Amino acid sequence: MAEGEAGRGDRCRRPPAPDLEDGGEDHGRLRHADEQGAGDHRGAAPGRGAPGAPGGRARRVITVVSFVVVVGLLILIHELGHFLVARWVGVGVERFSIGFGPVLLRWRGRETEYCLSAVPMGGYVKMVGEESPLEGGGGAAWDPAKAFALKPLWARFLIVLAGPGMNLVLAAVIFATMLMILGRPVLPAVVGRVSAGGPAAQAGVRTGDRVTSFAGRPVANWEDLGRAVSAASARPVELEVERGGARLAVSLVPRRTTVPDLFGEPKEMWDIGVGPLLTPHVSTVSPGSPAERAGFRPGDTVRAVAGEPIYTPEELTQAIQKRPGGRFTLTVERAGGELELTVTADRIRERAPNGTEIEVGRIGIGIDTQAAVTYVRSGPLAAVGQGLVQTWNMTTLTVTGLWKLLTRQIDSSNIGGPLQIATEAGRQARQGAAALAFFTAIISINLGVLNLLPVPMLDGGHLFFFAIEAALGRPLSLRKREVMQQLGFALLMLLMVYALYNDLMRLDAFRLFR
CB-based contact 49:465 (threshold 8 Å): no
Catalytic annotation, pick one of 3, 79, 314, 424? 79
> CA geometry: angle at 302 spanning 226 and 200, to 5°?
35
C-alpha dihedral, 73 to 79 to 80 to 82, nearest 10°: 160
> How far from 289 is each of 53, 330, 427, CA to CA, in Å?
15, 15, 21
Indicate the DSSP class of residue 15.
P
- In the chain, how long is the greatest CA-to-CA distance? 86
C-alpha dihedral, 313 to 318 to 321 to 323, nearest 10°: -120
Of 508 and 195, more confident: 195
Whether the pLDDT of residue 248 is over 80: the answer is yes
CATH number of this structure's domain 188-276, picked from the four choices 3.40.50.300, 1.10.1740.10, 2.60.40.420, 2.30.42.10: 2.30.42.10
Q: What is the pLDDT of residues 255-298, one digit of tens each?
A: 998 877 777 778 888 999 998 888 888 988 989 999 999 999 99
Q: What is the pLDDT of residues 195-219, one digit of tens each?
A: 889 999 999 999 889 999 999 999 9
Pairing relationship of beta strands 237-243 and 210-214 according to DSSP bridges: antiparallel
Task: For residues 74-101, give the mean pLDDT.
Answer: 92
Cα(246)–Cα(330) distance, integer angstroms: 34
Q: Active site includes 3?
A: no
Q: What is the pLDDT of residue 389?
A: 94
Whether the pLDDT of residue 28 is over 50: the answer is no
Q: How far is CA 379 from the centre of its chain?
A: 24
Q: What is the pLDDT of residue 34?
A: 30
Q: What is the pLDDT of residue 237?
A: 92
Q: What is the pLDDT of residue 22?
A: 36
pTM of the predicted model over 0.75? no
Domain limits, the chain: 56-181+441-513, 188-276
